């Protein structure tokens, strides 16, 4: 077991990627604190962990709330005695809020930053001192391939995801010598509730997105969990400050100039 005797705190883990990582960490021996704003979802993650013989507790909190974030770290220490791994995973995920920049409401902009970026700062702020008490730790941030490039109508999300990548690099520089390692995972499209509730399996976007992905399919939360496990483990001891895409190859190119199609249409003279 790769995380035996480690304690992990995972934000926004009552669903999707956070749930898959919580289960994977627990299966590898970690004691986990599952957080979510949604009590039912968070409790369900804990139940699933316990069904597999793992150890987990739920802490309800809106991660944009500084007091709650500090309490959550204290809760982890009070119940499990230490903190080794933090997963910052929350984001403002309302696709209905997508608009050209000037039409994005101030409320949505502020909420996207509060949930998706302020919470990551708060996670670092309260987790690092706790980790230093037991000699260090690992902080994994969930960004997105959306943080590595632009997208139409999605500035409120993509700016937050880009900021997370740079925040990760800054913290890596500031705290590496104190044995704090921090890395960023940048998923492409992953089959989670966030995607499923908006795009049904018959939705044309889904087909189109699948076709854009070189591997030819959408990713699975368990695949992101496999990467998170590796990054949290000692096997990744030399990986620090990195932003790692897990995207079926979509960041390799968008086929804007598809020479295969151009050459086939004009003939290879």
Ligand X SMILES: NC(=O)c1ccc[n+]([C@@H]2O[C@H](COP(=O)([O-])OP(=O)(O)OC[C@H]3O[C@@H](n4cnc5c(N)ncnc54)[C@H](O)[C@@H]3O)[C@@H](O)[C@H]2O)c1
* Active-site amino acid positions: 157
CB of 89 to ligand X, least distance (A): 5
DSSP state of 118: I
Two tokens, residue 185: 């995972």
CB 264 within 8 A of CB 203: no
CB of 177 to ligand X, least distance (A): 29
Q: Helix (H) and strand (E) counts for the chain?
A: 10, 7
Q: Which is nearer to ligand X, 134 or 153 (CB)?
A: 153
CB 38 within 8 A of CB 31: no
Q: Which is nearer to ligand X, 5 or 211 (CB)?
A: 211
Q: Which is nearer to ligand X, 144 or 155 (CB)?
A: 144
Q: Please give the Cα distance from 164 to 223 (Å, whole number).
A: 21
Q: Please give the Cα distance from 123 to 113 (Å, whole number).
A: 14
Q: Which is nearer to ligand X, 189 or 240 (CB)?
A: 189
Nearest CA to 219 out of 229, 231, 206 is that of 206
CA dist list (Å): 175 to 40, 44, 230: 36, 34, 20
CB of 57 to ligand X, least distance (A): 15
DSSP states along 7-51: EEEETT-SSHHHHHHHHHHHHTT-EEEEEES-HHHHHHHHHHHHH
Q: Which is nearer to ligand X, 36 or 84 (CB)?
A: 36
CB 35 within 8 A of CB 60: yes
CA dist list (Å): 167 to 118, 154, 186, 227, 247: 11, 20, 14, 20, 21
Binding residues vs ligand X (CB under 6 A): 12, 14-18, 36-38, 41, 62-64, 89-91, 93, 115, 142, 144, 187, 189-190, 192-195
Q: Which is nearer to ligand X, 182 or 189 (CB)?
A: 189
User: What are the beta bridge partners of residue 142?
Assistant: 185
In this chain, which residue has its C-beta nearest to ligand X? 16
CB of 60 to ligand X, least distance (A): 8
CB of 251 to ligand X, least distance (A): 12
CB 184 within 8 A of CB 168: yes
CB of 159 to ligand X, least distance (A): 13
């Amino acid at each position: 077991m790769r995380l035996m005797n480690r304690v992990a705190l995972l934000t926004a883990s009552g669903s999707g990627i956070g749930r898959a990582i919580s289960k994977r960490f627990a299966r590898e021996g970690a004691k986990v604190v599952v957080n979510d704003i949604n009590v039912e979802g968070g409790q369900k993650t804990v139940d699933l962990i316990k069904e597999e013989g793992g150890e987990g507790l739920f802490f309800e909190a809106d991660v944009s709330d500084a007091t709650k974030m500090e309490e959550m770290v204290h809760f982890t220490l009070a119940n499990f005695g230490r903190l080794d791994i933090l997963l910052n995973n929350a984001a403002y995920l309302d696709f209905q809020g997508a608009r050209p920049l000037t039409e994005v409401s101030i409320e949505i902009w502020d909420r996207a930053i509060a949930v998706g970026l302020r919470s990551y700062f708060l996670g670092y702020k309260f987790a690092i001192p706790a980790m230093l008490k037991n000699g260090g730790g690992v902080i994994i941030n969930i960004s997105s391939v959306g943080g590595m490039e632009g997208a139409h109508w999605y500035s409120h999300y993509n700016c937050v995801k880009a900021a997370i990548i740079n925040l990760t690099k800054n913290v890596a520089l500031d705290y590496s010598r104190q044995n704090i390692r921090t890395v960023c995972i940048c998923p492409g499209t992953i089959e989670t509730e966030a995607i499923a509730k908006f795009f049904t399996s018959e939705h044309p976007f889904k087909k189109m997105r699948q076709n854009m992905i070189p591997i030819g399919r959408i990713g699975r939360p368990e695949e992101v969990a496999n990467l998170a496990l590796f990054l949290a483990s000692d096997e990744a001891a030399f990986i620090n400050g990195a932003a790692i895409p897990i995207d079926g190859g979509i960041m390799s190119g968008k086929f804007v100039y598809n020479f295969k199609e151009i050459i086939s249409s004009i003939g290879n003279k």
